[in-house]
Amino acid sequence: MIKVDISMALFLYLLATAVFMLVIWSFFDFGTKLKTFSSEEAHIWHCTICSYTYIDSKNEEISTCPRCGSYNQRKQKMKNKQARR
């Protein structure tokens, strides 16, 4: 059996606690950053007619511009259409 004195045991206990806290902290911090980024990015719209930036959380595919009333489509869909041509 491996002999461990009190200072080595204390060091191992502190190291295990520090690693555990680091893992927990990074896990929760990573999750919140991902959530805020995805939710903000999904609701921001840029009008192609008047270049007005607004937030619309109700619609996902097509949104109506509150300033000029034109319909706007998702940016990623337009990029896909341009790539197909």
Which residue ranges make up the site for Zn ion (CB under 5 A)? 47, 49-50, 52, 65, 67-68
Among 53, 56, 77, 79, which Cα is nearest to 67's?
53
Residues ≥6 apart with Cβ < 8 Å to 41? none
Nearer to Zn ion, 34 or 49 (CB): 49
State in angstroms the smallest separation of the CB of 80 from Zn ion: 22
Nearer to Zn ion, 31 or 66 (CB): 66
Nearer to Zn ion, 47 or 63 (CB): 47
Beta bridge partner(s), residue 63: 72
Structure tokens at 33: 């950053």
In the block, residue with structure tokens 């805020």: 36
State in angstroms the smallest separation of the CB of 65 from Zn ion: 3
State in angstroms the smallest separation of the CB of 77 from Zn ion: 18
